[in-house]
Amino acid sequence: MQDFLTERNIKYRKDVSFKKISFLKLGGICPLVVYPRSESEFSAALLKARGLRVKFKVVGRMSNILPPDGIFAGVLISTSLMNHISAEGTLVRAECGCSLPALSSYLAKNSLSATEELSGIPASVGGAIYMNAGAYGREICDVLSSVRVFDMNASVFRELHKNELDFSYRHSVFQDSEMYVASAAFDTRRLPSGAIYEKISKLSAKRRANQPLTLPSLGSVFKRSNGISAAALIDECGLKGYCIGGAAISEKHAGFIVNRGGATAADYRKIVEIAKAAVFDSFGVKLEEEIEYL
Ligand SMILES: Cc1cc2nc3c(=O)[nH]c(=O)nc-3n(C[C@H](O)[C@H](O)[C@H](O)COP(=O)(O)OP(=O)(O)OC[C@H]3O[C@@H](n4cnc5c(N)ncnc54)[C@H](O)[C@@H]3O)c2cc1C
């Protein structure tokens, strides 16, 4: 893989610590992280990894992925350098590695309204579309027009309308296919910048008041269960503040497991299992993870 990347001048780094690249700031080592800077480098890296039968994972900002404690037996393809944004009137296109906060700032600066509710989600555009991330009554699919995907099976890039992407609560077609998000087009509407910034700032204050944003986490660990918030159920079990090693159920929001310093992935997973067992024993509800394990 490395010879191929060097020949094609595709950027990569070896032996990268997950403590540096994961949102949770824990974990072991990733032997190879590839950083494509363009669609052609992205597709070339994906096809090469598949051709060599190397285990690979595309990652955005790793804000929803728990890394392993040891050495990851595969390659990460990070989209962090694919972050260009452009606009044609009110239709705005962002590459997959662009962060939602950066996209939201760009839109606010240009008096375009669309992603204010999503502006505090620390996701990349690709990761947010994969998860159909949402907050404050809005999901990313609500503001999308279309997505440019790389279809691994046909080895082609295609533009798909949002109606073709099977969006539902925290679900998209990308979870069940070999397609990857290259970029996305967003429908926006004109609104004075001041009004947009005001909305972002109100929602950001609300987030800071309710979520433990000063400590590393992966956001809500579990999905809502039949519309019921997992955080409320975990709280009812008296688990706020429960800790193992450096990982703890947040005192501020029982749906978050935070890294209070020195946590391992094993600590985090043990807490996940304890919360699931407690909620099942008390309420007969089976919690399902929103986060992923690498
Ligand atoms: C403090 C905090 C607050 C959060 N608040 C919210 C919230 O309000 N609402 C919410 O929904 N989530 C929230 N999250 C969770 C998280 O930000 C989202 O799940 C987000 O969508 C993950 O994006 P990412 O770029 O970090 O993806 P990653 O964690 O890097 O990857 C997640 C998945 O997306 C896939 N993926 C990444 N890029 C691509 C691509 N280009 N093409 C195809 N698949 C891709 C990966 O393979 C992986 O399966 C929060 C997390 C934190 C840490």
Domains parsed from the chain with CATH numbers: 2-78 (3.30.43.10), 85-195 (3.30.465.10), 212-293 (3.90.78.10)
Query: Measuring from atom 19 of ligand 1, which residue has the nearest CA?
Result: 64
Task: Count other C-beta atoms under 10 Å from residue 185's C-beta.
Answer: 20
pLDDT tier at 25, thresholds 50, 70, 90:
very high
Alpha helices in 82-229 (DSSP H): 100-109, 125-131, 140-143, 193-210
Which atom from ligand 1 is nearest to the alpha carbon of 65? 29
Residue 187: CA count within 13 A, CB half-sphere? 9
Taking 90 as the threshold, does the pLDDT of residue 226 lie above it?
A: no
What is the 134 CA–ligand 1 centroid distance (Å)? 10
User: Among 63, 113, 146, 220, which one carries the catalytic annotation?
Assistant: 220
Q: Using the Cα atoms of residue 27, residue 29, residue 30 and residue 33 in order, give the sign of their dihedral.
A: positive
| Tens-place pLDDT, residues 37-60 | 999 999 999 999 999 999 999 999
Give the model's pLDDT for residue 107. 98
Query: Measuring from atom 8 of ligand 1, which residue has the nearest CA?
Result: 135
Give the model's pLDDT for residue 144. 98
For the question of residue 86 being annotated catalytic, the response is no
What is the 98 CA–ligand 1 centroid distance (Å)? 12
Give the model's pLDDT for residue 282. 96
How high does pLDDT run on average in the chain? Answer: 97
Taking 90 as the threshold, does the pLDDT of residue 266 lie above it?
A: yes
Give the model's pLDDT for residue 227. 87
| Tens-place pLDDT, residues 90-128 | 999 999 999 999 999 999 999 999 999 999 999 999 999
Query: Measuring from atom 11 of ligand 1, which residue has the nearest CA?
Result: 133
* Contact 126 CB / ligand 1 (< 6 Å): yes
How much of the chain exceeds pLDDT 70, in percent? Answer: 100
* Contact 183 CB / ligand 1 (< 6 Å): no
